[in-house]
C-alpha cells in the first residue's frame, strides 16, 4: 500500500487539493439560501451512491492502473501505520457524507465528478481507454445532479447548445482523439450510424426553425453517438465486454440512487392529482426508460457471478431497480420489461430468477409506506379496458394521428428533429397541464417510430429503422451462436427487444443528456453488441492464422 501511495504521490496530492476546494466551497454555500441542510434519511442515498461507485471502481479498475490499490481492502499482516494512512481518509470521507457539515452534499458531488473525470483522463493517457470511458460514465450522474441543482438556484444558467455534462463529453472526446493513436474499429453498422446522423442533419436543415432543430440534433444524436464510437473502440481494443458492462451498471444505478435521493429530499409533486417523481431531474418516465434497458444485464450478471458478495450486490440492484420502476408508474415501460424478461424463460440458467422478480414485485406493492402509498394506490382497480381508454392513452392517440398528418404534409424531410412539439397545435388540440397552468402541446408522438417519421420524414426514418433492425438482428445472431457467454448475449438481445417494444408508446428519443442518460444506455448496449461481434471475428481470424 505504501509503495502504491509513493508511486501515485501526484494523484494523492491532487485528491487532497480537490477535497480542500470542496470544503471551502461547502462553507461558501452556507450563504446560499437555495441550499438547506439535508435530513438523516436523505443522506443515506448519496452515501450508498458513493459506496456503489467505489465498489465498482474496486472491481474494474484493478487492471487499469496502480491507483486501484488505493481502493483495495487491507490484507492480513498489514502494519498499523499503513492501516492508519488508509483508514483516516476513508473515515473522514464517511463522516462528511453522514454528518453533512456545511451542506456538504453538493461540493462532495462536485468533488466526485472532478476526481472521476481526472481519473478517466489519467487512464486515457495511460492507454486504458476502457477504464477511462467507465469512469466517465460513473461521473455523469453526479454531473446531472450538480447541473440541475445549479439551474434551480441560478436562473438563466446554462445554454441551449451546451451544458456542463455535454461540455465534459466533448472535452473527453477531444482528449481521446488526440491521445488515442490506435486503429479505429470498423463495422458496417458504424456506416449505418453515420448515415443516420447525416440524414437527420439534412432534415434539420429543411425545418421551419433550423436553429432549434440543430440544437436537438446535437443533444439527441451527436453527443450520444460520439460516446458510442469511443465506447466501441475501447471495448474492442481491450476485448473485455464484462468490464464495460460493470461500469455501465454502476453508472445506471448511481443515477437511480440519486433520483431516489432527490425524491426523499424534496418529495413528489402533485400533478393532475397524481403523485409522481419530480418533473425535470427526477422524472419517473426517464428513470423507467433507463432501468428497463439495464435490468436484463443485472439478471445475467447475477446468474453468472460466483462470488457471494457480488451476488448480494446484484440482488440489491434488482430490488433497487424494481423500486424505481414501480415508483415511476411508467406503465408502458413496466409492460415492456415484463414482455421482454419473459424471454429469459428460454434460458435454463435464468428461469428461477424470474420467480424472484415476481415475488419482489408483490412484496414491494404490498409494502405500506407513507411515501409509496400515493404511488401504489394508482394501481388499484387498474384494468386492461381502463388502461386502453385512460386519459394518457387518449392523448397518445391524438399524438399518433398528429404525427401521421405531419408526415403526410412533409413526407421527405419531416418537420425537423424536435419540431413535433412546435407543429403540434396545427394538427391537434393542446391539452391542459397542471404543471404549466395552461394548455401545452405534446413533446413527442409517444411512439419513437412515428416521431421520427413526422420529424425527419423518410429521409431520417428509414435509416433509423434500418439501424435499429440491424442491431436487433446482430443481437439475435449472437444468441444463436451461443458459447460460454450465452446468458450475457441473451440479456443484450432482451435489452434491445425491450427498448424496441417500449418505443411503441414512448416518444422520448435517445438522448435527453440534460437529464437522465437514456441515450447513453441505448448506445452502451449497441457498443456491447457490435464489439462482441468484432472480438469474435478477431479471435476467429487469429485461430485460422495459427492453424495455417
What's the pLDDT at 72?
A: 38
Helical packing angle, 420-427 and 448-481, nearest 10°: 130
Give the cell for residue 362. Answer: 408483490
Give the cell for residue 542. Answer: 487469429
Burial code (b: 16+ CB inside 10 Å, e: under 16) for 220-250 equals bbbbbbbbbbbbbbbbbbbebbebbbbbbbb
What pTM does this model have? Answer: 0.75
What's the pLDDT at 457?
A: 92
What's the pLDDT at 231?
A: 92
What's the pLDDT at 121?
A: 84
For the chain, helix, strand, coil in percent to 5 are 75, 0, 25
State pLDDT tens for residues 121-149. 888 888 888 889 988 888 888 877 777 66
What's the pLDDT at 123?
A: 84
State pLDDT tens for residues 474-495. 999 988 887 777 888 888 999 9
What's the pLDDT at 412?
A: 92
Residues 99 and 37 sit within 8 Å (Cβ to Cβ): no
Residues 507 and 448 sit within 8 Å (Cβ to Cβ): yes
Residues of the chain with pLDDT under 70: 1-105, 148-163, 261-286, 327, 329, 355-393, 431-440, 507-518, 540-548
- CA 170 from centre of chain: 18
Amino acid at each position: 500500500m505504501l509503495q502504491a501511495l509513493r508511486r501515485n504521490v501526484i494523484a494523492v496530492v491532487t485528491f487532497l487539493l480537490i477535497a480542500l476546494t470542496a470544503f471551502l466551497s461547502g462553507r461558501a454555500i452556507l450563504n446560499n439560501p437555495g441550499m438547506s441542510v439535508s435530513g438523516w434519511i436523505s443522506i443515506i442515498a448519496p452515501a450508498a451512491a458513493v459506496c456503489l461507485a467505489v465498489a465498482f471502481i474496486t472491481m474494474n479498475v484493478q487492471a487499469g492502473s496502480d491507483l486501484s490499490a488505493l481502493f483495495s481492502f487491507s490484507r492480513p499482516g498489514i502494519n498499523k501505520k499503513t492501516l492508519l494512512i488508509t483508514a483516516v481518509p476513508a473515515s473522514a470521507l464517511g463522516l462528511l457524507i453522514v454528518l453533512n457539515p456545511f451542506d456538504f452534499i453538493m461540493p462532495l458531488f462536485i468533488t466526485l465528478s472532478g476526481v472521476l473525470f481526472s481519473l478517466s483522463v489519467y487512464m486515457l493517457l495511460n492507454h486504458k481507454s476502457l477504464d477511462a470511458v467507465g469512469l466517465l460514465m460513473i461521473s455523469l450522474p453526479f454531473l446531472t445532479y450538480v447541473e440541475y441543482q445549479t439551474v434551480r438556484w441560478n436562473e438563466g444558467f446554462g445554454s441551449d447548445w451546451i451544458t456542463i455534462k455535454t461540455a465534459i463529453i466533448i472535452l473527453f472526446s477531444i482528449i481521446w482523439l488526440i491521445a488515442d493513436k490506435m486503429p479505429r474499429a470498423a463495422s458496417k453498422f458504424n456506416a449505418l450510424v453515420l448515415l443516420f446522423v447525416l440524414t437527420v442533419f439534412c432534415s434539420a436543415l429543411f425545418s421551419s426553425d433550423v436553429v432549434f432543430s440543430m440544437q436537438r440534433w446535437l443533444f439527441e444524436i451527436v453527443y450520444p453517438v460520439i460516446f458510442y464510437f469511443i465506447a466501441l473502440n475501447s471495448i474492442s481494443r481491450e476485448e473485455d465486454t464484462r468490464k464495460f458492462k460493470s461500469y455501465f451498471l454502476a453508472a445506471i444505478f448511481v443515477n437511480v440512487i440519486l433520483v431516489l435521493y432527490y425524491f426523499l429530499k424534496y418529495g413528489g409533486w402533485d400533478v393532475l392529482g397524481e403523485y409522481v417523481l419530480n418533473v425535470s431531474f427526477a422524472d419517473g418516465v426517464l428513470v423507467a426508460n433507463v432501468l428497463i434497458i439495464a435490468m436484463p444485464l443485472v439478471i445475467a450478471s447475477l446468474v453468472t457471478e460466483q462470488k457471494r458478495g457480488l451476488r448480494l450486490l446484484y440482488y440489491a440492484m434488482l430490488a433497487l431497480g424494481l423500486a424505481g420502476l414501480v415508483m415511476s408508474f411508467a406503465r408502458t415501460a413496466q409492460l415492456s420489461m415484463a414482455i421482454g424478461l419473459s424471454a429469459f424463460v428460454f434460458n435454463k440458467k435464468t428461469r428461477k430468477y424470474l420467480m424472484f422478480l415476481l415475488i419482489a414485485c408483490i412484496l414491494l406493492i404490498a409494502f405500506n409506506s407513507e411515501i409509496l402509498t400515493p404511488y401504489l394506490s394508482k394501481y388499484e382497480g387498474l384494468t386492461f379496458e381502463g388502461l386502453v381508454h385512460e386519459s394518457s392513452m387518449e392523448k397518445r392517440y391524438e399524438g399518433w394521428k398528429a404525427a401521421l398528418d405531419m408526415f403526410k404534409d412533409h413526407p421527405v424531410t419531416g418537420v425537423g428533429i424536435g419540431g413535433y412539439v412546435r407543429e403540434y397545435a396545427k394538427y391537434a388540440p393542446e391539452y391542459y397541464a397542471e404543471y404549466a397552468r395552461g394548455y401545452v402541446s405534446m413533446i413527442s408522438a409517444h411512439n419513437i417510430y412515428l416521431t421520427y417519421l413526422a420529424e425527419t420524414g423518410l429521409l431520417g426514418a428509414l435509416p433509423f429503422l434500418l439501424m435499429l433492425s440491424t442491431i436487433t438482428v446482430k443481437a439475435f445472431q449472437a444468441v444463436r451462436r451461443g458459447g460460454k457467454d450465452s446468458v450475457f448475449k441473451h440479456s443484450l438481445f432482451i435489452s434491445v427487444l425491450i427498448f424496441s417494444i417500449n418505443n411503441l408508446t414512448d416518444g422520448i428519443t435517445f438522448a435527453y443528456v440534460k437529464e437522465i442518460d437514456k441515450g447513453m444506455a441505448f448506445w452502451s448496449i449497441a457498443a456491447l453488441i457490435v464489439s462482441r461481434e468484432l472480438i469474435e471475428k478477431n479471435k476467429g481470424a487469429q485461430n485460422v492464422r495459427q492453424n495455417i
